Structure 1
Amino acid sequence: MRVEIWTDINCPWCYLGQARFEKALAAFPHRADVEVVHRSFQLDPGRTKGDAEPILDVLMKGKGWTRAQALANEDNLSRQCAAEGLDYVMGRDHGYTFDMHRLLHFAKKQDRAHELVRLLYHANFAEKRSVYDDDERLVELAVRAGLDADAARAVLADPAAYADDVRSDVREAAVVGVTGVPFFVLDRKYGVSGAQTTEMFSKALATAWESRPTARRS
């Protein structure tokens, strides 16, 4: 069974949803037969490199919130992350993620995408040092994920490297009906939108598994 996950490193709900999904998958009896594929999505496709800014400013401008409302949103996220055992730094940056997606596609070719996406989430949401506009920071994370430093550096230095793969994922998202992330697609039959509970992900996995043609024949 295949589970495709459309996410953006900018998205805190993706960070939270990924953790909840992983808990559900770890407890799933058939987890060894589940292939997880990470797909790219851009929440802020118009943002350019060098254009990072504090998330509170982004929320106030983008949603028309007051500073108090933006802070309340961050506090809510912090509490929900803590309940899942995740660290969360309030007041983080929000920026350009296209290069991160390109690097993730490179990691996918090396079968290291899962490791890298987890490291990117942690670096962005649980560490104070920004992941934006700092290629060497991304290289450090790539190395920690098991990738070669020079190869990762070469990918980041070439704007065309894996760019078509990212754009293909974004186009595919529109075909599937993804309008926001995180979005989980199970065997191209069932969609789960948002950072649902671990219990909800468990039910979705079970439903998708039982709906397979081989399961029906048995």
Structure 2
Amino acid sequence: MRVEIWSDIACPWCYIGKARFEKGLAAFAHRDGIEVVHRSFELDPRRAKGDTAPVIDMLAAKYGRTREEARAMEEHVASNARAEGLGYRTEGRDHGNTFDIHRLSHLAKARGRQDELLDLAYRANFAEERSVFDADVLIALGVEAGLDEDEVRAVLADESAYADDVRADEREAAELGATGVPFFVIDRRYGVSGGQPAEVFTQALEQAWQGRALTPLGADDSPACDADGSCEVPSA
């Protein structure tokens, strides 16, 4: 059975949702029979490559908040991440265009190293002082994930490399009705939106495995990032 996950490295709920899904999968009796495929979804595709801004400044501008309010928003998200055992820095992170990261993810998929790359990229973006919008950082992450350095450099230097694959994923997300991420599709029969609790993912996998008619699972307001780049922030 296949689970496809549409996500963006810039999305904090994708970072959290990946961890929750993996916990849900670990609790699923037939987990060895599950194939997980990661798909591309850009939250800010119109942002120019190289145009980065501090996350706190971006949030303040996007939501019309003060820097203090934006910092509090980040702290709320951070508390959810830390509850899953994830590192999360609320200061010193950048926001930018993620197209190159998605292209590199498709190279990693072709080489069987996609999950390794995504874990490293999420950790670099949210927990470490490394900007995933810097080419040298992306090269280092690719090598850490087990990719050939020359091949990583070649892909990043050629803006057409894997570009069609990224666009195909994004078109497919739209066709499936995804308006935000993370978006999980189980065996092309059911979609789970947002960073749901681990037990919701386990329940969805169990129902899909048994071939029952699936009903919506989890809260409709589960936190996610919308296609316009807006990320829901949980209340205190």
> What TM bracket, shorter-length normalisation?
over 0.9
Q: Cα RMSD over matched residues?
A: 1.2
Matches within 5 A, 1:39-78: 39-78=39-78
SS of the residue corresponding to residue 47 of structure 1 reads coil
The aligned counterpart of 2:179 is 179
The aligned counterpart of 2:119 is 118
The aligned counterpart of 1:34 is 34
SS of the residue corresponding to residue 39 of structure 1 reads strand
State the alpha-carbon separation in 1 of the partners of residues 58 and 112 from structure 2. 34
1:128 alignment partner AA: E
Show structure 1 runs of 4+ deviating over 3 A.
none
2:112 alignment partner AA: D
The aligned counterpart of 2:220 is none
SS of the residue corresponding to residue 167 of structure 1 reads helix
List gaps (5 residues or longer) in structure 2: 214-236
SS of the residue corresponding to residue 128 of structure 1 reads coil
Alpha-carbon shift at residue 66 of structure 1 (Å) = 2.8
The aligned counterpart of 1:127 is 128
The C-alpha deviation readout for 1:57-116, integer Å capped at 9, x for no partner, is: 211222222323311211111111111110001131111100000000011101111111
State the alpha-carbon separation in 2 of the partners of residues 70 and 209 from structure 1. 42
SS of the residue corresponding to residue 180 of structure 2 reads coil
Alpha-carbon shift at residue 27 of structure 1 (Å) = 1.9
1:110 alignment partner AA: R
1:136 alignment partner AA: D
Alpha-carbon shift at residue 28 of structure 1 (Å) = 1.1
State the alpha-carbon separation in 2 of the partners of residues 121 and 144 from structure 1. 13
TM-score scaled by structure 1? 0.94
2:7 alignment partner AA: T
State the alpha-carbon separation in 2 of the partners of residues 37 and 7 from structure 1. 11
State the alpha-carbon separation in 2 of the partners of residues 64 and 196 from structure 1. 27
1:126 alignment partner AA: A
Matches within 5 A, 1:186-197: 186-197=186-197
The aligned counterpart of 1:89 is 89
Count of aligned pairs between the two proteins: 212
SS of the residue corresponding to residue 6 of structure 1 reads strand
The C-alpha deviation readout for 1:2-57, integer Å capped at 9, x for no partner, is: 10000000001100000000111122111111010100001001011111101112
1:142 and 2:142 correspond: yes
TM-score scaled by structure 2? 0.87
1:129 alignment partner AA: R
The C-alpha deviation readout for 1:172-213, integer Å capped at 9, x for no partner, is: 000001110001010111111111111111111111111179
1:70 alignment partner AA: A
State the alpha-carbon separation in 1 of the partners of residues 26 and 155 from structure 2. 32
1:48 alignment partner AA: A
More helix by share: 1
The aligned counterpart of 2:230 is none
List gaps (5 residues or longer) in structure 1: 214-218
1:202 and 2:198 correspond: no
SS of the residue corresponding to residue 116 of structure 1 reads helix
Indicate the percent of aligned positions where both proteins have the same amino acid: 61
State the alpha-carbon separation in 2 of the partners of residues 114 and 144 from structure 1. 12
The aligned counterpart of 2:216 is none
SS of the residue corresponding to residue 191 of structure 2 reads strand
The aligned counterpart of 1:216 is none
